[in-house]
């Protein structure tokens, strides 16, 4: 049962924000800081829902937000992180400074999922494809051609049409995908918190939250990446069992038994979900991912992967 809307919608502005509203919100937050979103609109003189204010700030007005022009590096990182984290956009965004979860989500939905589905169909090379098509010329045509053309000219059918398209894409993905699965798979039943990700040794972070049903095995989304046997992983958060709380990690040696239960589950449960025939490629993907992170690590001093995710 969902709770009531955060505020009465009556009399509140909706839709696109005006420059004036942006200014009001920005000035208020600059003066008083973030938080107290519910009361913020009133105090700031905005006829907006607090949620709307928060979203506008987080996704658009916040300083240091990068907009547009996802670089090839970011693109690649998104794909890799998504393969590990699934649709955990906020976590992925935390790994991409200046990018918002919404932007990454949109980018994934509009660019990457299509591209990957095309790759899955044995089409062109992804990079070639991307470079030759940005911003979406040839690709648009390609993707449009593989779409189900139930011609609907009625504008009311637009969204239905889109849904059909998306369903079609989802089907293609589920059939052809090589990199990820769309939905995380729960593999354990113990409670897990989103904020306790990637560093089991430090209960770092308290801002995030995790739904109990979000207990997931990331790896199960990556054709069984969940548990990579890596001998030397230079990040504290991973080395001791990875994201135990989120049911993800890497078996190193005997694993970490500080939380006993988790690795026991992982050893038994996760590995039993690993596709046995593709182990080398899984390790390769893990290694690639860590190489990428290493490269980043040399540029930016981070205490741990966990901390970077929680930035």
Contact (Cβ atoms closer than 8 angstroms) between residue 296 and residue 74: no
Tell me the number of residues near DNA by CB under 7 A: 77
Angle at Cα 214 formed by Cα 208 and Cα 220, nearest 5°? 120
In the complex with DNA, which residue's Cβ is closer, 51 or 273? 51
- The 3-class SS string of 147-161 reads CCCCCCCCCCHHHHH
Q: Mask 88-117, x = binds DNA (CB under 7 A)?
A: xxxx---------xxx-xxx-xxx--x---
- Minimum CB separation of residue 3 from DNA in Å reads 5
Residue labelled with tokens 């009001």: 24
In angstroms, how far is the first alpha carbon of the chain from the final one? 32
Q: Which of 62, 66, 165, 176 binds DNA (CB under 7 A)?
A: 165
Q: Mask 111-150, x = binds DNA (CB under 7 A)?
A: x--x--------------------xxx-xxx-xx--x-x-
- Minimum CB separation of residue 174 from DNA in Å reads 13
Q: What is the footprint of DNA within residues 12-51 (CB under 7 A)?
A: 13-17, 34-39, 48-51
Of 92, 128, 84, residue with least CA distance to 108: 92
CB environment 15-49: b (16+ within 10 A), e (fewer): eebeeebeebbbebbeeeeeeebeebbeebebebb
In the complex with DNA, which residue's Cβ is closer, 218 or 233? 218
- Minimum CB separation of residue 146 from DNA in Å reads 8
Instruction: Identify the DSSP state of 217.
Output: B
List residues bridging with 256 in a β-sheet: none
Of 108, 104, 105, 88, residue with least CA distance to 96: 104
- Minimum CB separation of residue 102 from DNA in Å reads 5
Q: Which of 74, 129, 199, 210 binds DNA (CB under 7 A)?
A: 210
Is 1 a binding residue for DNA by CB under 7 A? The answer is yes
In the complex with DNA, which residue's Cβ is closer, 132 or 206? 206
Q: Mask 59-78, x = binds DNA (CB under 7 A)?
A: xx------xx----------
């Amino acid at each position: 049962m969902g709770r009531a809307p955060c505020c009465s919608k009556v009399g509140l502005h909706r839709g696109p924000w005006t420059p004036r509203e942006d200014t009001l919100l920005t000035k208020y937050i600059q003066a008083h800081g973030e938080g107290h979103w519910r009361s913020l609109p009133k105090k700031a003189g905005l006829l907006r829902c607090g949620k709307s204010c928060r979203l506008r700030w987080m996704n658009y007005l916040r300083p240091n937000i990068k907009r547009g022009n996802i670089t090839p590096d970011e693109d690649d990182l998104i794909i890799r992180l998504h393969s590990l984290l699934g649709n955990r956009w906020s976590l992925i965004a935390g790994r991409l400074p200046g990018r918002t979860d919404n932007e990454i989500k949109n980018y994934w939905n509009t660019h990457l999922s299509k591209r990957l589905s095309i790759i899955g169909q044995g089409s062109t090379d992804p990079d070639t494809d991307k470079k030759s098509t940005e911003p979406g010329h040839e690709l648009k045509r390609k993707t449009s051609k593989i779409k189900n053309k139930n011609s609907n000219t009625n504008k009311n059918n637009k969204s239905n049409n889109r849904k059909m398209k998306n369903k079609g894409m989802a089907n293609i993905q589920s059939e052809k995908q090589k990199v990820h699965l769309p939905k995380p798979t729960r593999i354990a039943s113990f409670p897990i918190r989103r904020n306790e990700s990637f560093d089991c040794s430090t209960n770092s972070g308290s801002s995030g939250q995790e739904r109990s049903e979000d207990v997931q095995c990331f790896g199960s989304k990556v054709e069984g990446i969940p548990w990579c046997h890596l001998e030397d992983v230079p990040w504290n958060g991973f080395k001791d069992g990875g994201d135990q709380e989120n049911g993800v990690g890497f078996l190193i040696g005997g694993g970490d038994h500080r939380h006993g239960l988790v690795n026991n589950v992982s050893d038994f449960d996760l590995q039993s979900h690993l596709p046995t025939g593709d182990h080398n490629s899984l390790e390769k993907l893990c290694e690639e991912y860590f190489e990428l992170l290493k490269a980043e690590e040399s540029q930016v001093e981070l205490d741990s992967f966990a901390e970077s995710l929680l930035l």
